[in-house]
């Protein structure tokens, strides 16, 4: 059997992944699904088991499923380490919701944040199942809206826009609306 080459990046014999983990730097740069949530949750729990120093979660994601997103949020809120979220690129949909769950919330100056109503994913089911699903989806949408309302200063009108279309915001707007605590203009590695 051939040995598979490791997908870990190395520079001058240094394992970049290990360096970042030692510096407590985690990344959410893919769709939020069961696989990505499991990996991130495992990393959060592992780092928290070492000590309770801050963990930095870099976010550049289009979003994903509500249940997988809230599993990440529940873990962030349940561990002893503070989690600092940093939006670099975009935090859309469920990724935007995760970003506001940070103990400290930052955003790079060229990043964007977006919220919209959740997708129902109903297709090809029997009418009775669809009706049951609609009730569930209404409750999930309310949970999302309540979470966003609790963690931001978005107005009722802005929440309605997010629930009936898409609400796109740049860093200054996000700061004004309590989505983030500050704007990152320069990224420095912590030593």
151 catalytic residue (yes or no): no
Q: Which of these is catalytic: 36, 81, 93, 115? A: 93
Helix 34-50 and helix 66-78, axial crossing angle in degrees, nearest 10: 0
Residue 93 is among the residues annotated as catalytic for this protein: yes
Is residue 71 within 8 A of residue 119, CB to CB? The reply is: no
E strands, the chain, are: 10-11, 14-15, 25-28, 55-61, 83-92, 104-108, 112-116, 166-169, 182-184
Q: Which of 116, 119, 128, 151 is catalytic?
A: 116
Cα separation, 101 vs 81, in Å, equals 13
- Separation between Cα atoms, residue 90 and residue 111, nearest integer Å: 5
Residues with catalytic function: 93, 116
């Amino acid at each position: 059997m051939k040995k598979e080459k490791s997908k870990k990046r190395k520079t001058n014999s240094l394992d970049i992944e290990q360096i970042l983990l030692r510096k407590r730097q985690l990344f959410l740069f893919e769709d939020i699904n069961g696989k990505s949530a499991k990996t991130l949750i495992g990393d959060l729990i592992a780092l928290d088991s070492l000590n309770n120093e801050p963990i930095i979660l870099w976010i550049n994601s289009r979003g994903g499923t509500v249940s997988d997103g809230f599993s990440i949020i529940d873990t962030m809120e349940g561990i002893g380490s503070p989690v600092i979220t940093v939006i670099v690129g975009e935090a859309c949909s469920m990724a935007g919701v995760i970003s506001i769950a940070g103990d400290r919330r930052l955003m790079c100056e060229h990043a964007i944040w977006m919220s919209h109503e959740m997708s129902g994913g109903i297709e090809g089911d029997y009418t009775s199942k669809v009706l049951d699903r609609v009730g569930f989806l209404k409750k999930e949408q309310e949970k999302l809206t309540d979470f966003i309302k609790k963690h931001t200063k978005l107005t009722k009108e802005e929440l309605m826009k997010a629930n009936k279309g898409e609400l796109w915001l740049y860093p200054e707007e996000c700061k004004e609306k309590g989505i983030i605590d500050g704007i990152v203009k320069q990224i420095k590695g912590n030593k």
